[in-house]
Amino acid sequence: MGKILNEPKLYWVGFNLVRGIGAARMQALINHFGDVVSAWHAPGETLRAAGLSSKIVENFLQMRSSVDLEKVWQGIQAKDIQVLTWDDPEYPVRLKEIELPPPVLYVRGGLLPEDEWAIAIVGTRRLTPYGRQVTTEIAGMLARSGISVVSGLARGIDGVAHKAALEAGGRTLAVLGNGVDRIYPPEHRLLAGEILRHGALLSDYAPGTPPDGLNFPPRNRIIAGLSLAVVVVEAGESSGALITATFAADQGRDVFAVPGSITAPQSQGTNRLIQQGARPLLDPGEVLEALNLTRAQMHRSARRELPANATEQRLLSVLSQVPVHVDEISRQTDLPIEKVTATLTMLELKGLARQVGAMNYISVRELGDDYRVE
């Protein structure tokens, strides 16, 4: 039992069970106490000094005294659920880039490095034959191009997107508004089983959490955060897919909308998105072209390669998790800008570096001695 209590993730899960403690308050606790374990064992007055309100401290103390963390952890392990926190290198890179990413992710199935190249496809539950056809074409094209398809496992567009990606031999990720041990809607149980074999189910809600309408807007934020871009196929004026599009825009991600008939209720939301500045998607291939994703297949085959020469190693030596502009990289390495940009492109394909906007680059992973090129 002692070994279980020494598992730090146990305490991340504990805080995840407390109503009112989300990403902002979790970060405040870590800043104040230094780590999650110390925060969990802190007395009430110290928690208030860390910035928690009296009500949240009351909720926490009640939870801490009543919950059996060992039993909770054993239940999670018994269901083969992976717990990812901010501290884990496996935590999805793109999701971690957004403001206040979820502190805890529960995952069934498997996340792979290539899921970093992902596009979300979302839309109405009341899809038309047109919406079904377009969704099938877009998801299939993305899957065949090595792009993971992200959606929410809901009825309608979401379900079609997941199925089309699987039928094309690709990967797909489903973000749930409930615990990953519960499948909603129930008619998607078989689909969820297929996703587990070729992707993953994810949620920031603890196992056992039932579906609730209030859970779905925050769920949509994660869908957008996992993705390079969001494609809205059909959406009415009040569709939850529009919430996903808003989150994507706020996160600096591209938003594509499929235009439709001005008389169709299912196209009112997508047409409005286009009017507001979303990219009209007239051909599925435009997503790849706009995001320069035609390289994704090359990326997948090359990403496990090591630095091939001294030039690549030289650039990697100046990259870290702090974005560096390409001009500064050129200055620090004393290499011409055209040589730097060409080498950075190759490092991106290998999954060793990534552009994070405005010609700024970061290192995707730290390189140890085994990667050194003599």
Question: Higher-confidence residue: 5 or 282?
Answer: 282
Provide the 10 A C-beta neighbour count for residue 89: 8
Q: 51-58: long-range contacts (C-beta < 8 A, 24 or more apart)?
A: 51/25, 52/21, 52/25, 52/28, 53/20, 55/20, 56/18, 56/19, 56/20, 56/21, 56/25
Which pLDDT score is estimated for 239? 86
Q: Does the pLDDT of residue 308 top 70, yes or no?
A: no
Domains and CATH numbers, the chain: 2-77 (1.10.150), 108-294 (3.40.50.450), 303-371 (1.10.10.10)
Which pLDDT score is estimated for 305? 54
Q: Does the pLDDT of residue 18 top 70, yes or no?
A: yes
Mean pLDDT calculated for residue range 26-38: 93
Of the chain, the percentage scoring pLDDT greater than 90 comes to 62
| Mean pLDDT, all residues of the chain | 88
Question: Higher-confidence residue: 296 or 29?
Answer: 29
Q: pLDDT tens-digit profile of 41-65?
A: 999 889 998 889 999 999 999 999 9
Of the chain, the percentage scoring pLDDT greater than 70 comes to 92
pLDDT band at 302 (very low <50, low <70, confident <90, very high): low
pLDDT band at 349 (very low <50, low <70, confident <90, very high): confident
CA distance 3 to 5: 5
Question: Higher-confidence residue: 371 or 109?
Answer: 109
Q: Which amino acid is at 258?
A: V
CA distance 208 to 201: 14
CA distances in angstroms from 358 to 346, 354, 361, listed in the order given: 18, 12, 9
Q: Does the pLDDT of residue 296 top 80, yes or no?
A: no
pLDDT band at 1 (very low <50, low <70, confident <90, very high): very low
Measured in residues, the chain has a length of: 374
Which pLDDT score is estimated for 370? 36
Q: Report the b/e string of 93-113 with b at 16+ CB within 10 A.
A: bbbebbeebbbbbbbbbebee
Mean pLDDT calculated for residue range 261-276: 92
Mean pLDDT calculated for residue range 252-264: 92
Which pLDDT score is estimated for 368? 39
pLDDT band at 4 (very low <50, low <70, confident <90, very high): low
- Predicted TM-score of the model (pTM): 0.78
Which pLDDT score is estimated for 271? 93
Which pLDDT score is estimated for 175? 97
Mean pLDDT calculated for residue range 61-72: 91
Maximum mean pLDDT: which of 169-173, 247-251, 264-268, 334-338: 169-173
Q: Does the pLDDT of residue 139 top 80, yes or no?
A: yes
Tokens 């955060």 label which residue?
A: 225
Q: Which amino acid is at 51?
A: G
Mean pLDDT calculated for residue range 336-359: 81
Q: pLDDT tens-digit profile of 211-249?
A: 888 888 889 999 999 999 999 999 988 888 899 999 999
Which pLDDT score is estimated for 356? 76
